[in-house]
Structure 1
Amino acid sequence: MSTMNTNFKDYNQQQNWLFPPSIEELIPSEHPVRLVNGVVEQLDLSQLLSEYKKNGQPSYHPKMLLKVMVYAYMDNTYSTRKIEKAMRENINYMWLSGKQVADHNTIARFRSKKLKTIFKDIFKQVVLFLADQGLVSLKEVFTDGTKIESVAGRYTFVWGNAIKTRKEKMATQLEQLWQYAQSIADHEDKDPTPPDFTKVGKEKVAQTAQKINKILSNNPKAGSKQKAKLRFIEKNFSNNLDRYAEQEKILANRNSYSKTDPDATFMRMKEDHMKNGQLKPGYNVQISSQSQFIIHYSLHQQTTDYHTLKPHLVSYQKLYKTLPEIIVADAGYGSEENYEYLEQNDVEAYVKYNTFDKENQTYKPKKKKSGKEDFHRDTLHYNDKEDYYVCPMGQKMENKYDKKQQTTSGYLQKISVYKAKNCKGCSLRTLCHKAKGNRIVQRNHKLERYKEITRRRLNSELGTQKRRQRTADVEPVFTHIKSNRNFKRFTHKGIDKASLEFGLHAFAHNLKKMIA
């Protein structure tokens, strides 16, 4: 058999090393694992160390576990079993851990219990380190939010409106049975003052059922169906009210929650794989960025962004003992409450309101104009000095009264109401308004003042620059985390654990950005 001429490098698995190499020699000097090691070595971990008891079996050093955890998230490795496997087999993890191998349970306990309360302090130290290096500034932030799905079951939900409907149905059933009992009751058993069924409580159900039972049990006219309904009420209503009360306690100010993750609220996800806008349990994640570094993050149960800005900045101030001097955000945050909060705290706000883009014609209309746009309240002339509107036919709409209304967050707004004097017989009536009487428009003077300040600020040369800068700063951060790191769903239940999970992603993102 002929042999071919070959030119291969020597290959011998039995070759011995005269001087076996150390792991240190096998890690390139510019490898990301060295950055992780260097950054963690500079951190003050006294709070983390205080989480451990002095007595008992020796624990793995938290500094080592933190290095491994952070590098794992940079490496897109989130499973504790996979991290344990990497500590056995991956040379980078072996170098960080000093060849120690922690089992997956130890790693999971470290992540969920030891880091839970103190991780924000560790994250803050890294941000301050970035600021010292001149990579970021805490004076200006770009804020945006995204919704990330919870690990909870997608079809195990509780709805606040459903609870309200069930309680109303219970009240209706109880009232109907009470009226039936009164219709067949003897004169001495009739109740001249009927109970108030607008609110149903356990005590009222018990008292009313007792009165109904007294009438039905002693009256031969009582029907068997009504007696069966009474037995059902006595057996179930009290337990149902207890269950609804517990569910309403969990809901607080929300309209929904997941049974398998009560902290998660049902929200519409942009990244819905079925492309049909399904509601899924999730959290509203808010970040403030600077130069595409994440300066601050917070998780919220509210579905709308304008309810999250104030608590997001409150937690920012708690963490850094100060607020940013400038904030840039999109129209989802433009509300009277937010503008007032920013003004009171001397934060220069470049925050759009909901009609800003429409006013600046930066949108594409989905359908043809109907002509009714010319009669919108914002197109009517308003006389600021004498405080009146002018309708399309030229008649004055004077201020009739002021009213107060409360937002879902509890914020009180003052609304002025203006009314036309005579709309009867007006040729523009069908285009102007559909109400039966004279046309009424409402004006929030404080909000209009904030909108005028914001309009001038955003349309300035500096404002235009910051609006463009926002889309290039904060939005790519979410794209990187969701698409490049494939983080589209939390793996832990509860808002505290989910917050820690996102924090680890934010920490890893900042370190990878440092490398870039």
Structure 2
Amino acid sequence: MKRFVEGDDRKQVALLPECVDDYIGHDNPVRIIDVFVDELDLAELGFSGATPALTGRPSYHPGVMLKVYIYGYLNRVPSSRRLERECQRNVEMMWLTGRLAPDFKTIADFRRANGAAIRNVCRRFVEVCRRLKLLSGDMVAIDGSKFKAVNNRDRNYTAGKIDRRQQQIEESIQRYLDAIETADRISPTGFDVKTMHLYEKIVRLRQQMRELAQIKKQLKKQRDRQLSLTDPDARSMATSGKGSGMVGYNVQAVVDAKHHLIVEHDVTNIGNDHGQLSRMAMSASKAMGKPTLKVLADRGYFSGPE
């Protein structure tokens, strides 16, 4: 192909192989991740496996796993399966991990077992930003965001939802019974295939009624009268769209006004922002080491006591 920019032959063998470091620019964020994690005392921060076991199969160093986790956070790759693929094909990740490629279960287990330690890393990052004078030091903004949980809306129950569902099932049962009665009058032989299907549907619906009755008993034991079967901590929350509620979490974030860095965060299952202002403001003040702080928030946080 003349007069076009041509690439190298895929089968060409290089006598002097290129170094992986040559592919990573000097201002690439992965270099910051690498330096930041290498300077951390992972055992002091609470990471499990920081001291290797004397026997058994060698494990991945928690520093390598933490680098993978932070890279996924910065590049919006939250899935452990997608992080596994990135380790296998992404040059930046190869440079960061030394060509190691942990499987998705190892990544997920690391995240699950070291939640408190990862929060300590976030606090240490804020301390570094404070020393580098990247924080304004006198003004922050607080807001909440709804994050969807793995719990489907049909697997989340309140007293109102159960009552509506029971009413729908009763109406369906009555409709099937009427259809059976009509079929009995019309059909000379009595039972036919359609009638048998209707009886099977009624049996399934009555089983659902018994299950709803059991869920209703469990619901009375819940403090907020709400029950999620897949993700027990998730709660039904209203969103900005009309009639578009979701089952998830309310993530509170405090952002510095200078460089928009997150200085403090917390996850709650309370559907609104009432009562969160002072708690998050005090946490941000402690994280930034400032006794006084100007805090900006929208009217969703308005409360007399707050």
TM-score for the superposition, normalised by structure 1: 0.44
Which residue is equivalent to 2:234?
264
Which residue is equivalent to 1:157?
156
Task: Give the match's secondary structure for 1:144.
Answer: strand
Measure the CA separation in 2 of the matches of 1:47 and 1:249. 40
Superposed counterparts of 1:387-402, under 5 Å: none
Report whether the alignment pairs 1:133 with 2:132.
yes
Amino acid at match of 2:254: S
Measure the CA separation in 1 of the matches of 2:137 and 2:271. 27
Which residue is equivalent to 1:147?
146
Contact 1:140 1:324 in 2 (8 A): no
Q: 2:280 aligns with which of 299, 312, 333?
A: 312
**Offset from partner CA, 1:239-268 (integer Å, 9 cap, x none):** x6x865643443x2x353422222112111
Contact 1:264 1:301 in 2 (8 A): yes
Give the CA deviation at 1:20. 1.3
Contact 2:46 2:117 in 1 (8 A): no
Report whether the alignment pairs 1:46 with 2:43.
yes
Q: Using the aligned pairs only, state the percent identity.
A: 28
Q: 2:296 aligns with which of 328, 331, 342?
A: 328
Judging changes above 3 Å, is the alpha-carbon distance between structure 1 residues 315 and 249 closer, same or farther for their aligned structure 2 residues? Answer: farther
Larger Rg: 1
Judging changes above 3 Å, is the alpha-carbon distance between structure 1 residues 265 and 21 closer, same or farther for their aligned structure 2 residues? Answer: same
Measure the CA separation in 1 of the matches of 2:218 and 2:288. 37
**Offset from partner CA, 1:382-432 (integer Å, 9 cap, x none):** xxxxxxxxxxxxxxxxxxxxxxxxxxxxxxxxxxxxxxxxxxxxxxxxxxx
**Offset from partner CA, 1:270-302 (integer Å, 9 cap, x none):** 2x5xxx422221212211111211111111222
Q: 1:299 aligns with which of 244, 267, 288?
A: 267
Amino acid at match of 1:16: V
Which residue is equivalent to 1:184?
none
Measure the CA separation in 2 of the matches of 1:331 and 1:23. 51
Task: Give the match's secondary structure for 2:92.
Answer: helix
Report whether the alignment pairs 1:247 with 2:215.
no
Measure the CA separation in 2 of the matches of 1:41 and 1:10. 37
Measure the CA separation in 2 of the matches of 1:278 and 1:9. 52
Q: 2:21 aligns with which of 20, 24, 27?
A: 24
Judging changes above 3 Å, is the alpha-carbon distance between structure 1 residues 26 and 8 closer, same or farther for their aligned structure 2 residues? Answer: closer
Give the CA deviation at 1:49. 5.9
Judging changes above 3 Å, is the alpha-carbon distance between structure 1 residues 133 and 111 closer, same or farther for their aligned structure 2 residues? Answer: same
Judging changes above 3 Å, is the alpha-carbon distance between structure 1 residues 306 and 330 closer, same or farther for their aligned structure 2 residues? Answer: same
Contact 2:127 2:288 in 1 (8 A): no
Task: Give the match's secondary structure for 1:118.
Answer: helix
User: Quick check: 6-15 or 140-149, which moved more?
Assistant: 6-15
Give the CA deviation at 1:126. 0.8
Judging changes above 3 Å, is the alpha-carbon distance between structure 1 residues 323 and 59 closer, same or farther for their aligned structure 2 residues? Answer: farther
Superposed counterparts of 1:101-112, under 5 Å: 101-112=101-112
Judging changes above 3 Å, is the alpha-carbon distance between structure 1 residues 16 and 132 closer, same or farther for their aligned structure 2 residues? Answer: same
Measure the CA separation in 2 of the matches of 1:92 and 1:308. 39
Which residue is equivalent to 1:284?
250
Give the CA deviation at 1:314. 5.7
Which residue is equivalent to 1:503?
none
Give the CA deviation at 1:305. 1.0
Report whether the alignment pairs 1:69 with 2:57.
no
Contact 2:47 2:117 in 1 (8 A): no
Judging changes above 3 Å, is the alpha-carbon distance between structure 1 residues 126 and 11 closer, same or farther for their aligned structure 2 residues? Answer: closer
Amino acid at match of 2:252: Q
Give the CA deviation at 1:76. 2.5
Judging changes above 3 Å, is the alpha-carbon distance between structure 1 residues 117 and 318 closer, same or farther for their aligned structure 2 residues? Answer: farther
Judging changes above 3 Å, is the alpha-carbon distance between structure 1 residues 141 and 90 closer, same or farther for their aligned structure 2 residues? Answer: same
Give the CA deviation at 1:99. 1.1
Judging changes above 3 Å, is the alpha-carbon distance between structure 1 residues 7 and 128 closer, same or farther for their aligned structure 2 residues? Answer: closer
Contact 1:302 1:308 in 2 (8 A): no
Judging changes above 3 Å, is the alpha-carbon distance between structure 1 residues 141 and 15 closer, same or farther for their aligned structure 2 residues? Answer: same
Give the CA deviation at 1:108. 1.1
Task: Give the match's secondary structure for 1:86.
Answer: helix
Report whether the alignment pairs 1:123 with 2:145.
no
Give the CA deviation at 1:81. 2.0
Task: Give the match's secondary structure for 2:153.
Answer: coil
* Unmatched runs of 5 consecutive residues or more in structure 2: 165-209
Judging changes above 3 Å, is the alpha-carbon distance between structure 1 residues 262 and 13 closer, same or farther for their aligned structure 2 residues? Answer: closer
Judging changes above 3 Å, is the alpha-carbon distance between structure 1 residues 267 and 21 closer, same or farther for their aligned structure 2 residues? Answer: same
Task: Give the match's secondary structure for 2:109.
Answer: helix
Task: Give the match's secondary structure for 2:271.
Answer: coil
**Offset from partner CA, 1:220-257 (integer Å, 9 cap, x none):** xxxxxxxxxxxxxxxx9xxx6x865643443x2x3534
Contact 1:138 1:324 in 2 (8 A): no
Measure the CA separation in 2 of the matches of 1:9 and 1:327. 56
Which residue is equivalent to 2:203?
none
Contact 2:281 2:295 in 1 (8 A): no
Give the CA deviation at 1:319. 5.7
Contact 1:156 1:260 in 2 (8 A): yes
Number of positions where the alignment pairs a residue of Structure 1 with one of Structure 2: 255
Give the CA deviation at 1:118. 1.4
Give the CA deviation at 1:88. 1.7
TM-score for the superposition, normalised by structure 2: 0.71
Contact 1:142 1:327 in 2 (8 A): yes
Judging changes above 3 Å, is the alpha-carbon distance between structure 1 residues 25 and 328 closer, same or farther for their aligned structure 2 residues? Answer: same
